Amino acid sequence: MKHLIIGNSGFVGKHLEKYLETKYKKKNVFGFASKFLDLTKIENYKKINKFVKKNTTIYFLAFNKNQKNASLKDYEINHKIITNFLDYIKNKKIRKFLFFSTQSIYGEDTDNKNITEKTLPNPTSFYGIAKYNCERLVEKFFILKKTPFLIVRTPRIYGPGDDPNNYGPSLFTQKFKDKENIVLWGDGSEKRNYLYITDVVKIIDLLINKNFSGFINICSNENRSFKFLINTLNKLTKIKINIISKPRSRQQVDQIMNNRFLKKIIGNYPFISIKKGLRNLLK
């Protein structure tokens, strides 16, 4: 079995490539970044021809811009990237395809304490809208192609190598390390799921080896508030950080994903707790 990662230079892509190389040997894992493979030009895909075989699993993690900074132009670029890839792969046989999506397709401002795979999508950012449209194209394409596919949706992922400016575990931990003030919007009581990076790549591998196609949430059943993260870091470091409270610019919402369906597919999985994940980041 061969593994091809398109978008291996990002946070998740780097960790996924390293994990697969360790498990399946380096000679069976291939990764490409946008610097080498301009995905907006279909003629560039010939560079990966020799890696696309009937025993190849393709992991598609390439995406232009993140949730916060995405614009209409970024939406157009992402649409072009996925349509180029699907056009390229239409006459080729592969083992399985995985598209890496996001919790954002359910809506950034939607209050929901039980987000399941059947929750009605309601993306409100150019990033979320692009991800959702790409999901639908992938689903339609691979069903017609009769090729197994996975569309995985994740909450905020954190861990070594994450951007320390990402609000939540990564930014808070960095602030404690640097002994700097933390800005807390509202009272910090809104709840979220967080996912440690090693859990993400291990679960992706488990799913790839299951006889399953379709959409799935990758998440634990542990949901925590921003205030909980700060209090936990305070206990772990014994450091008092100045918290600057600012009024929220939007309505406070809880966004909690349900992992019941994930358990049905892979069984019980020992997720890394928030406390342990934060302790690892502090190291």
2-156+195-217 matches 159-193+223-255+272-282 in fold: no
Residue range 214-260, pLDDT digits in tens = 999 999 999 999 999 999 999 999 998 999 999 988 889 999 999 99
Counting residues of the chain whose pLDDT is more than 70, the rounded percentage is 99
Confidence check: pLDDT of 3 > 90:
yes
Domain range annotation of the chain:
2-156+195-217, 159-193+223-255+272-282
Assign a CATH topology to domain 159-193+223-255+272-282. UDP-galactose 4-epimerase; domain 1 (3.90.25)
Quote the pLDDT of residue 249: 83
Query: Is the alpha carbon torsion for 177, 181, 187, 193 positive or negative?
Result: negative
- CA–CA separation, 122 vs 128, rounded Å? 9
| pTM across the whole model | 0.95
Counting residues of the chain whose pLDDT is more than 90, the rounded percentage is 88
Quote the pLDDT of residue 66: 67
Residue range 139-197, pLDDT digits in tens = 999 999 999 999 999 999 999 999 999 999 999 999 999 999 999 999 999 999 999 99
Average pLDDT, the chain: 94
10-24, 70-84, 265-279: least confident range? 70-84
Gyration radius of the chain's alpha carbons: 19
- CA–CA separation, 61 vs 135, rounded Å? 12
Nearest by Cα to 129 from 101, 152, 167: 101
CATH assignment, 2-156+195-217: 3.40.50.720
Residue range 58-117, pLDDT digits in tens = 999 998 766 667 889 989 999 999 999 999 999 999 999 999 999 999 998 889 999 999
Q: Is residue 124 left, alpha or beta, with left meaning phi > 0 and alpha meaning psi from -120 to 50?
A: alpha
